[in-house]
Amino acid sequence: MTHKPLVLSGMQPTNTLHLGNYLGALKNWVRMQNEMPCLFCVVDMHAITTDAAYGKPEELTRATREVAAAYIAAGVDPARTPVFNQGQVPEHAELSWIFNCVARLGWMDRMTQFKEKSGKHKERSSVGLYTYPVLMAADILVYKATHVPVGEDQKQHLELSRDIAQKFNNDFGVPDFFPQPEPVITGAATRVMSLRDGTKKMSKSEESDLSRINLTDDAEAIANKIRRAKTDPLPLPDSKDGLKDRPEAENLLNIYAALADQDRDQVIAEFAGQQFSGFKQKLADLTVAKIGPVTAEMRRLLADPAEIDRTLKSGAARARAIAVPVMEEVRRRVGFIQ
Ligand code: TRP
């Protein structure tokens, strides 16, 4: 049996979103909306595995609205595509429990992101952080989603989702009940790096705010950060070979190409031999032109939190319409009386 194509993805409402999230993820989501039915979730249940959200209800609520606003401001159309927060669809948690019983400790112990996040003190990490990838599998499979746009760092979690789907299908004797969800690796061409260090990913957890362009920055802040972005003393290269060992130059050219929807080679040719100062001015103007409307729309949406909450509620109702029948069948297959 083949499963109907359906896209599901999500972002955690922790801290603020930045240019990397926009170019690496949101822009692709918006495009995918025109190709397949999609669901976009704000994963508030995942967020409480982090210090940024755990025990900080107001901050979590604020960040959840902000992420929802970013999806919509970037071009996700909530009339077509359900935008919702995970916490309003209890089927995620319910399926996640069953998947906790499907997944093996040996599989979980291989998860590299848990090892990174828990650091030296595994015994002090929450159990939630450990089973985070199981909840992610439930997010996807509760809708029988087939395509999952994610960054490179989430590939291993997607593999776990596939293993869980297969073992469930096998152990409960329903071949093809759950699909094997495919990662759609987004942002491979547009890995946006820190403005302070071209070898590190632009990240919401990096200390210096100058390292990233937040989707809440105004035009002046954007221009200032680009002006102050780290560069090297050479002029811009005339070919991509000239980018070798010049991570900052490469990053700024990549950002330009992604924002302008141009080929990187084209951009290199356009600025070949020029000084950074002039290029940075053009990049700042382009960034403001492309990101400015998104940030302005985000601010407009956030000024009316009740409206965002209504959008999330309606998105959750539409998401549940898909998840409820799947869960009914899961309960029946598992043997729960209902
Ligand atoms: N773990 C993902 C990340 O940090 C977020 C996420 C949670 C997700 N559930 C998901 C992504 C389901 C795609 C599908 O990026």
From the candidates 27, 144, 201, 280, which is the catalytic residue? 201
Residues 167 and 313 in one domain: yes
Average pLDDT of the residues of the chain: 95
Residues 6 or more apart in contact with residue 175 via CB below 8 angstroms: 169
Is 274 within the bounds of a domain? yes
Out of 136, 144, 203, mutate this one to test ligand 1's pocket (max ligand atoms within 8 Å of CB): namely: 136
Residues 292 and 310 in one domain: no
Residues 146 and 250 in one domain: no
Residues 229 and 321 in one domain: no
Is 190 within the bounds of a domain? no
**Atom 8 (ligand 1) nearest CA:** 10
Residue ranges of the chain whose pLDDT lies below 70: 1, 187-190
- Expressed as residue numbers, the domain containing 266 is 209-299
CATH code of 179's domain: 3.40.50.620
Residues 223 and 255 in one domain: yes
Number of structural domains (the chain) is 2
Amino acid at 134: V
- What's the confidence (pLDDT) of residue 187? 67
Residue 117 annotated in active site: yes
Is 176 within the bounds of a domain? yes
Residues 144 and 233 in one domain: no
Per-residue pLDDT of 292-301, as tens digits, reads 999 999 999 9
**Atom 14 (ligand 1) nearest CA:** 9
Cα 265 versus chain centre, distance: 27
Is 219 within the bounds of a domain? yes
Entry pTM: 0.94
Neighbours of 112 (CB within 10 A): 10
DSSP 205-265: T-S-GGG--BTT--HHHHHHHHHTS---SSPPPSSGGGGTT-HHHHHHHHHHHHHHT--HH
5 three-class SS: coil
For a pLDDT cut of 90, what percent of the chain falls above it? 91
Is 204 within the bounds of a domain? no
Residues 165 and 217 in one domain: no
Is 272 within the bounds of a domain? yes
Q: In 214-228, which positions are buried (b, 16+ CB within 10 angstroms) versus exposed (e)?
A: bbbbebebbbebbee
Report whether residue 150 contacts ligand 1, using a CB cutoff of 6 Å.
yes
Is 194 within the bounds of a domain? no
For residue 90, the CA-to-ligand 1 centroid distance in Å is 17
Q: Which atom of ligand 1 is nearest to the CA of 46?
A: 7
CA distances to 298, 299, 300, 333 from 303, rounded to whole Å, are 9, 6, 5, 46
Residues 147 and 288 in one domain: no
Is 193 within the bounds of a domain? no
Contact 175, 169 (CB under 8 A): yes
For residue 279, the CA-to-ligand 1 centroid distance in Å is 35
For a pLDDT cut of 70, what percent of the chain falls above it? 99
Q: How far apart are CA 74 and CA 77, in angstroms?
A: 9
Per-residue pLDDT of 48-74, as tens digits, reads 999 999 999 999 999 999 999 999 999
CATH code of 246's domain: 1.10.240.10
